[in-house]
Amino acid sequence: MQPVVMLLCDGRFPSGSYAYSAGMEHSVSWGDVADIATVREHLAGRLSTTGIMAAQVVAAASKLAAAPAPQRAAGLDALDTAVDARLAPAAARDTSREQARRWLRAASATWPEALRTAGDLLAGRHFWVVLGFATAALGIEPQDAAWAAIYDLASTPLWAASRLLGLDPFESAHVLAGALAHIAVEIHAVAREAVLAAEPLGNGIAGTEWISSIVAPLSDLAAQAHLEREERLFAS
Amino acid sequence: MSRLTDSPQYCGPADRDRAWRVGIGGPVGSGKTALVASLCERMKATFPIGVVTNDIFTTEDADTLRRMGVLDPDRIVAVRTGCCPHTAIRDDIGANLDAVEQLERAVGPVGVILIESGGDNLTATFSYGLVDRQIFVLDVAGGDDVARKGGPGVTRSDLLVVNKVDLAPLVGADVDRMLSDAKAARGTLPVIPTAVRHGQGIDRVIGWLVDERRRTLAGPGP
Ligand SMILES: Nc1nc2c(ncn2[C@@H]2O[C@H](COP(=O)(O)OP(=O)(O)O)[C@@H](O)[C@H]2O)c(=O)[nH]1
Ligand SMILES: [Mg+2]
């Protein structure tokens, strides 16, 4: 594994992730998540639905980075539209673009040379599209990029729940490790398949229907309800 | 008033195409929002001002400032900090940089942006990637031994404000001792006692801000 992957997944990398709960704050207030057992279920549900879709989008965006310039822009547009269609509530889409902007600010300052040209192409796009494409410019393999997204997708709500519910942090870490291990084989497989499936995109042939559209609507609705609340700790 | 940098509308040379930014930190309740409101009221006629707040739980500070009518509502922006107000101003400043840029896009060139931290502990200070200068606000009612206890806010902030001196007799606080403790901890860095609620000491804070802004915008100089 390349050292840049470790930097990317470090919670102290200043990409703004500490402020997000990925709908967890609202799930806690609804009572859907109340203890470590329900946190475990929540993570398993998110990873096996939105997680698959995220891994596919990241791996495809990563693959696109190797395509000729005109096809790259068109392919990124297609992936961005695919994510739009799969994140139903406006709040989830806005958060994804906001997170992308903050991540790109941090990454561009960290690797200014490598990301100079990618910056313009990625402005205003969804987080997973940006993550996949930009990490390719850093020499990260599509599968590792997909894992960076999966790790973020799991750890963001987990640590938010840990803070909100006062969970035992050791138990939280144990649950996170278990959730990632459980989904590992599947993530490797879908990331590998996504790299192949994205090849036509790189050749200027549209088509993103192979991207999973099984998402976690309740989490996404929580994200929407969250934004409508007066009192909230997290940005999402 | 002959230098370009003395003009109230001046927002910096071409290589500095952003507002001058000042962080205002300190414990909960020490008077940060009151200070921001007072500075806005007195400075807005001469400096185009913007405010960014970092509330812990709500958008209370931003709402308070809007309600007080100290500035146009679109000059006040709130950031959410996910239980970590110190992270938002020190370790991971992207959300605050977003807010600052959003504000400048919305209202045009701004002379000074005041960034209020969500009240935190004595170790919470601003990153200089976010602010040009920082003020740390203590209050005498929070205990007159706080200045002696130190911490980076007390010892290294660019300006230490010791607020609510009007309350000293009521809470049995020794203001002179606080000021001398603070001076001992800070070397040559300035300390200003205030009673923001009664408008006391604000002129000295403004004097400091204007001097510091001129100094930054003029560059290192000969
Ligand atoms: N007596 C007195 N009260 C003050 C003074 N400055 C602020 N306050 C009050 O202290 C409380 C907390 O002030 P606020 O500005 O909200 O504190 P913040 O949490 O640091 O932003 C409010 O009720 C203010 O009216 C002061 O100089 N004297
Ligand atoms: Mg306040």
Domain boundaries in chain B?
17-216
- CA B63 – CA B81 distance, rounded (Å): 16
Nearest CA to ligand 1 atom 4: B197
**Is it the case that residue B94 has pLDDT exceeding 70?**
yes
Binding site membership of B164 for ligand 1 (Cβ less than 6 Å): yes
ipTM for the complex? Answer: 0.82
Residue type at position B50: G
List per-residue pLDDT tens for chain A, 236 residues long.
788 999 999 989 999 988 899 989 999 988 999 999 999 999 999 999 999 999 999 999 999 999 998 899 999 999 999 999 999 889 999 999 999 999 999 999 999 999 998 988 999 999 999 999 999 999 999 999 999 999 999 999 999 999 999 999 999 999 999 999 999 999 999 999 999 999 888 887 878 999 999 988 888 788 888 888 777 788 88
Residues for chain B: how many in total?
A: 222
Express each pLDDT in B114-171 by its tens digit: 999 987 778 889 999 999 999 999 999 988 888 888 889 999 999 999 999 999 999 9
Say how far residue A101 (Cα) sits from the centre of its chain. Answer: 13
What average pLDDT does chain B have?
Answer: 87
- Judged on CB neighbours under 10 Å (0-12, 13-18, 19+), A1 is exposed
Q: Do B94 and A14 touch (CB under 8 A)?
A: yes
Question: Which of these, B77, B40, B47, B50, lies nearest to B62 by C-alpha position?
Answer: B77
Question: Which of these, A233, A72, A67, A84, lies nearest to B60 by C-alpha position?
Answer: A233
Neighbours of B56 (CB within 10 A): 19
Binding site membership of B167 for ligand 1 (Cβ less than 6 Å): yes
The region of weakest confidence among A75-84, B89-98, B161-170, B212-221 is B212-221
Rg value, chain A, Cα: 17
Side-chain-facing half-sphere of B184: CA atoms under 13 Å:
12
Q: Do A105 and B97 touch (CB under 8 A)?
A: yes
- CA A17 – CA A219 distance, rounded (Å): 17
B122 CB contacts (<8 Å, ≥6 apart)? B27, B146, B149, B150, B151, B152, B153, B154
Structure tokens of A69? 């310039």
A74 CB contacts (<8 Å, ≥6 apart)? A201, A204, A206
B43 CB contacts (<8 Å, ≥6 apart)? B49, B112, B206, B209
Q: Supply the pLDDT for residue B84.
A: 83
**Is it the case that residue B13 has pLDDT exceeding 90?**
no
Binding site membership of B30 for ligand 1 (Cβ less than 6 Å): yes
Q: Where are the domains of chain A?
A: 3-15+35-221
Contact A5, A58 (CB under 8 A): no
Q: Which of A20, A105, A231 sits opposite B57 (nearest CB)?
A: A231
**Is it the case that residue B216 has pLDDT exceeding 90?**
no
Of chain A residues 137-176, which have a CB less than 8 A from chain B?
A: 160, 163-164
- Smallest CA–CA distance, residue A18 to chain B, in Å, is 6
End-to-end CA, chain B: 19
**Is it the case that residue B221 has pLDDT exceeding 60?**
no
Top-confidence residue, B145 or B221? B145
**Is it the case that residue B220 has pLDDT exceeding 80?**
no
- CA B124 – CA B110 distance, rounded (Å): 26
Banded pLDDT at B16 (limits 50, 70, 90)? low
Q: Supply the pLDDT for residue B18.
A: 86
A166 CB contacts (<8 Å, ≥6 apart)? none
In B15-154 the beta strands, taken as DSSP E runs, fall at 20-25, 49-53, 76-78, 112-116, 133-139
User: What ranges in chain A are assigned the alpha helix state H?
Assistant: 3-9, 24-30, 36-46, 52-64, 69-86, 90-110, 116-122, 127-137, 142-165, 169-197, 199-202, 217-227
Neighbours of B69 (CB within 10 A): 11
Residue type at position B192: I
Structure tokens of A45? 């549900």
Contact A111, A134 (CB under 8 A): no
Q: For residue B198, which atom of ligand 1 is closest to its CA?
A: 27
CATH class of the domain whose range is B17-216: alpha beta
Q: Do B82 and A19 touch (CB under 8 A)?
A: yes
Residue B77, classed as helix, strand or coil, is strand
Residues for chain A: how many in total?
A: 236
